[in-house]
Amino acid sequence: MFNKTMIWTTIVASLFTLASLKVLHFFNFIKWSPVGWGKKWLFLGSSHEGWKWIVLLIVLLLAFGIFYAAARMAVNVPPSVTAISISIIATLAIEWTILSPGTLWGGLKSISIPFFSTIAIVSRFVTGTAVFMKKNFD
């Protein structure tokens, strides 16, 4: 199950996502802080922002590792379909929980298109790699 391709894919996807979140936040493409969740947790509330980014990197590594393993099981579904559906669900879930809009229309209007694009790119990269490796090397 664990091979070099899975490890490198999750590392690259996590680092790209982390860098993209930093850029999106710096240029105000997203209205929330990627490490703003650290204020709610007692053990990270008063720590340096760098530690929050490291914890976010670890969470992303785990999430993309699980996503890679799940994408290997969906070999019969085209990677583009899997990636776009996961991107839509993930973007809606992340931004809905962070922004907590009052109405459905307000929630749909508040979605960041650059954030969705970033999630779609990373999802396509992970699913494409997982399906390719499963079909050709297993």
* Residues of the domain holding 31: 4-137
| Eight-state DSSP code of residue 138 | -
Q: Return the beta strands (E) in the chain as ranges.
A: none
Torsion over CA of 51, 88, 101 and 36, rounded to 10 degrees?
0
Percentage, residues of the chain above pLDDT 70: 93
Convert the pLDDT of each residue in 13-33 to its tens digit. Answer: 999 999 999 999 999 999 888
**pTM, to two decimals:** 0.90
Average of per-residue pLDDT values in the chain: 89
- In this prediction, residue 9 carries a pLDDT of 97
CA–CA separation, 58 and 122 (whole Å): 16
CB 51 within 8 A of CB 60: no
Convert the pLDDT of each residue in 30-62 to its tens digit. Answer: 988 888 776 666 666 667 778 889 989 999 999
Q: How many domains does the chain have?
A: 1
